[in-house]
Structure 1
Amino acid sequence: MALKLPRTIRLDPSDTFVYSRAAEPGEWAVTGSFLFFGADVEALSGKERQAFRAGFLGVDSFGWSTLVVVTEASAEERAAVVEKLAEQLVARCGAPGLEAARPAAEEEVAFAQSLCDHPPNTLLALHRASEEPGVRETFRTLHRKVSRLDPATAFRVIEIDEENDPVEEVDIRALAGRDT
């Protein structure tokens, strides 16, 4: 069985508006729920609340992404993700050192890996909610329509030769049945 991990993906620019810091497309990702441990979730508002509700955490930028895509990874890439996350836990979260941070990073990456039991290029979305006694996470998959998309990509680009194509004109008033 191939090793798979989630990578951030940006299908439109909305992440740059809804999060205070958006992850860059193509970053390895984890859920990032640990950033909300001990937080007063009810007091979160705006972009922080959106990150809580629907954000995956990009490991490199510590920015948020609404969607991730299941991606094949090598053992070396996985090890590098664990190491980078451990470094981030020290630099951004106050972990006392890499030795203390590595087991936590390993656990986060292992959980992210467990979410990727889907074919490559499957999109994953996350929803978090505050419930007693803690936080509940639910995940959903967004599958491509095989008849509309190429099998190896999240979306397909169609090249159009506008010089040789006839221009199509539509008379909206006629379609609406009006003569004005």
Structure 2
Amino acid sequence: MALKLPRTIRLDPSDTFVFPSAAELGEWAVTGTFLFFGADAATLSNKEQQVFRAGFLGIDSFGWSTLVVVAQATAAERAAAVDRLAEQLVARCGAPDMKTAHAAAEEEIAFAQSLCDHPLNTLIGLRRTMEGDGIRETFRTLHRRVTRLEPAGAFHLVEVQEEDTPEEEVDIFTLAAGQK
């Protein structure tokens, strides 16, 4: 069985507007829900509420992404993602030591990996809600409909030019192959 992990993806520049900080394109990602434990959703700013409702956490930048894509990973890439997340947990979240952080990072990566039980290039979205004393996560997958008249593929891309909008290109096949 192939090893798969979620990578951040940006189909448009909206993450750079709606989140306090957007994840870099192609980062390994986890849900990041642990950052909201004990938080009062009513006191979050508008952008923080958007992160709470729908953000995946990019491991390297600690920025947010609305969607992730199921991508193939090697065992070495998975191990590096665990190590990097552990470093971030110590540096940004106050984990007491690397041993504790590594155990937490391993758990987060394992959960993220469990979300990728789908074909490569499947997009995954997240919805978080506060329910009682806890946080509930629901996930949805996004697939393109295939008809007999149109060949199968991951996406049908349509180029749209808008003035004063930075142009951004996404090469989903390179991402899926594990290259940035």
Q: Under a length normalisation based on structure 2, what TM-score does the superposition of the two structures give?
A: 0.83
Match of 2:38, SS state, is coil
Q: Counterpart of 2:101?
A: 101
| 1:5 maps onto 2:17 in alignment | no
| 1:61 maps onto 2:61 in alignment | yes
Q: CA deviation at 1:156?
A: 4.1
| 1:78 maps onto 2:78 in alignment | yes
| 1:120 maps onto 2:133 in alignment | no
Aligned residues: 157
Q: Counterpart of 1:142?
A: 142
Q: Which moved more, 1:102-111 or 1:41-50?
A: 41-50
Q: Counterpart of 1:32?
A: 32
Q: CA deviation at 1:135?
A: 0.4
* CA distances 1:51-93 after superposition (whole Å, capped 9, x unpaired): 0000000000000000000001111100000000000000100
Q: CA deviation at 1:41?
A: 1.4
Aligned mates of 2:23, 2:151 — CA distance in 1: 25
Q: Is the 8 A contact 1:150 1:156 kept in 2?
A: no
Aligned mates of 2:60, 2:152 — CA distance in 1: 29
Aligned mates of 1:100, 1:125 — CA distance in 2: 29
Specify which structure has the bigger relative contact order, considering alpha-carbon pairs within 8 angstroms and separated by 6 or more residues.
2
The 3 A distance-change label for structure 1 pair 149 and 95 is farther
Aligned mates of 2:6, 2:89 — CA distance in 1: 19
Aligned mates of 1:54, 1:143 — CA distance in 2: 18
Q: CA deviation at 1:155?
A: 4.6
Q: Is the 8 A contact 1:69 1:121 kept in 2?
A: yes
Is there any run of 5+ residues in structure 1 with no aligned partner, and where?
Answer: 159-180
Aligned mates of 1:35, 1:155 — CA distance in 2: 35
Match of 2:78, SS state, is helix
Aligned mates of 2:157, 2:5 — CA distance in 1: 22
**Structure 1: which amino acid aligns with 2:128?**
R
Aligned mates of 1:131, 1:61 — CA distance in 2: 29
Q: Is the 8 A contact 1:86 1:101 kept in 2?
A: yes
Q: CA deviation at 1:100?
A: 1.2
